Amino acid sequence: MGDLVLQKIAISGPTLASMIQRLSSSPADLDGLLFGHVTCVAPSALSDDSVQSTPDSQLVATISSFLSFPSLLSFYDSLGRVDSSRLTLTNLNQKPLIGWFSFRRKTPLRPSMRESSVTRSLPSNPQLYLPIQNASSESLFAPSIFLLFTTPLQDQFIQTCQYRAFQYQSSNLCFNPLPIDIVNIGPAFRGHYGAFSPTSALPFLNCELRSSSAINECRNEENLIGMKRIAKDQSELDMCAEGMQIGRLNQLIGPEAVNYTAGLEDLYKKMLCKIESLARLVEASSAKVVEQENHNRKLRYKVARSAGLE
Amino acid sequence: MSLDGFPPFISAQLHYLINHFPDKIKVEQVLSGGKTYTGGLDRFTLLIPYCLDYIKWDIIYNAEFPLAPPDIIFGTEDEDFHPLHMTGRVGEGDLKFRNILSDWNYKDPTRLLALIQELRDRYMAYQKKRVGEVDDDRLTFEISTICSREGIEMQISSGAEKPEEVKFAVPLMDMNINKMVHGCPWRHPQKIYLQVIYPVGKKYASTPSAPRLKLMSTTELRALFTIEDVKLPSWLDGMCMAEYLPHLEESLQKQVLEAVSLIDIRRHFIEALAPLLGRPLEADPKGNISCFLWILRFPGALPYFNSVS
């Protein structure tokens, strides 16, 4: 499989801000994984040349989310070899892996010995390769993006975060720096959202338009199966909305669709409720995580100090 | 130099490295990678002597994660230097290097020195490979003739503005100068090197230009022998290093032997003064052997008599 060269990396403003906030609040160096998708963007060929050479289609990788690990040597060892038993599809919750990032304060902005090794061994598991959206060929993209964050060497009164993205090309064993496009909300950026794809989709619920006569005839026999299916569909809907009865979805299709707007607004309201309660859960669990991390740090300090006493 | 502010496990390893490295290593730009300074200083730049110059490597420890080995960032010109996965045969040295990292023991003060020495050897092999790939017939020939010499170090240097150059550090004269000097105070073996810088030739240059030559010595040797006073024999057109070096070594050897014998003569002279000027007489070479200032103390009118020779 040949190397797929990216033209640039796109990241939305909120994602980048969230990453930098996470990095700045970390007490030590940090690293983690990057998730997203790779799209094939056909360049606008506005030339009137008679020579029609097919322009190279451009690959753009979009970073949509990240996962940070609180300690070093999390998914790799001290030689920079990636532990493929930790990076499986199940462990990653089926999220599409496109690369990894590293943050280290007060260091130069180029890959280090271990980071080169990790980036090189990241594409070792072909199961993690991604299909490219809008692509003509069936080639898969191997996770090869490395995003490096550092802070300047001199103490600054202003918090500064420097970052650079690289794509590792296994064909010539080099790190290729890539430009980063930050996609923000606003009229100027409307065009950039052309390749936007939501990462949280509504569950696919089986929707059959049954005629009323059929329902009356088979009602008794299908009752148990029907109830089971309703229960299953309700649990799928509960994953993204709170307090929405599955029967109410009737309002969005069929003869009751006259109240379409009201039904949709109701659905969105219940989805927001769900997000709110999730946020509360996250807050509570974050407090527990911080407590555990503090405890771990105290233990590590003890270990570090004890080296001198021996 | 003071190494305060480091957590104990880092300062132990850094101290050991500075004291036991065969040459003089410098430490610069010591910083802390933590959000606050409570963890201590844990990153610094090492200036490691190589090819009569220094290479700068940034060593990144993590005070928060003492069990992990340090990470290293190499210089800006060495983007292709990847010691953890160098292509080619995996020799014994490579296994030894990988074992240092995989069996890292943060309590062992000798680890950092072992790591740096192994990396420096890998770096030397990397530079040798790069120099070997240079597309210049004359250089290829030169390398083939002198690579059998022990201890040669070479380095390619290229930049945006300056042309590509290959630098060689050739150790001269297989003599143990330390042994030749009576009561030598030097801790490290003293050596003289010839620095040869070749520009990487373009194919269409008619005559290859002479390389830039410079004699350099280890710092403490300057007390015995001022290297700047030595006049290098001229490089004739069409000469190669295999021809040039023997002449240079011969003349240099004579000069070094002369300087050593002069010191012996001075010493004998001072010792011979002892019975004439009466005891007690102390001859204090005052650290610098050829500094020309021997402080003699002997009973008599003057508190001391400086003999300048």
> What does the pLDDT look like over A224-253, one tens digit per residue?
887 888 888 888 888 888 888 877 776 677
* pLDDT (average), residues B270-298: 55
Give me the long-range contacts of A67-71 (CB less than 8 A, separation at least 24): A67/A32, A67/A33, A67/A35, A67/A95, A68/A22, A68/A23, A68/A26, A68/A30, A68/A31, A68/A32, A69/A30, A69/A31, A69/A32, A70/A26, A70/A30, A70/A293, A70/A296, A71/A296, A71/B65
Q: Hey, of A71, A113, A166, A305, which one would you mutate to test binding to chain B, going by the most B CBs within 10 A of its CB? A: A113
Chain A: nearest CA to B106, how far in angstroms? 8
Torsion of CA A251, A257, A258, A260, to 10 degrees: 70
Report strand pairing: A97-104 vs A145-150.
parallel
Type of residue numbered A5: V
> What does the pLDDT look like over A150-178, one tens digit per residue?
998 887 778 889 999 999 988 878 898 99
Query: Is residue A303 within 8 angstroms of chain B, CB to CB?
Result: yes
- What are the two backbone dihedrals, phi and then psi, of residue A6, each rounded to the nearest 5 degrees? -85, 145
Q: Hey, of A21, A83, A106, which one would you mutate to test binding to chain B, going by the most B CBs within 10 A of its CB? A: A106
Closest chain A residue by Cα to residue B106:
A307
- ipTM for this prediction: 0.77
Could you state, in order of their start, the residue ranges of all structural domains in chain B?
Answer: 1-133, 134-291
Contacts of B32 in chain A (CB under 8 A): 105-106
User: Shortest CA distance to B68 belongs to which of A151, A300, A86?
Assistant: A300
* pLDDT (average), residues B94-119: 88
Which of the listed ranges A276-280, B130-134, B141-145, B220-224 does the model predict with the highest average pLDDT?
A276-280
In CATH terms, the fold of domain B1-133 is Ubiquitin Conjugating Enzyme (3.10.110)
Omega before B275 within 30 of 0, i.e. cis: no
> What is the reported pLDDT for A26?
87
Could you state, in order of their start, the residue ranges of all structural domains in chain A?
Answer: 8-43+55-183, 228-309
A87-106 exposure pattern, b = at least 16 Cβ within 10 A, e = fewer? beeeeeeebbbbbbbbbbbb
> What is the reported pLDDT for A147?
95
User: Shortest CA distance to B165 belongs to which of B196, B129, B205?
Assistant: B196
Closest chain B residue by Cα to residue A116:
B82
**Whole-model pTM?**
0.76
Instruction: Tell me how crowded residue B91 is: count the other CB atoms within 10 A of its CB.
Output: 11
Closest chain B residue by Cα to residue A159:
B35
Instruction: Tell me how crowded residue B54 is: count the other CB atoms within 10 A of its CB.
Output: 16
Please say whether the beta carbons of B232 and B215 come within 8 A.
Answer: yes
Check whether A125 has a pLDDT greater than 60.
yes
* A8-43+55-183 CATH choice from 3.40.50.2000, 3.40.140.10, 3.40.1260.20, 3.40.50.300: 3.40.140.10
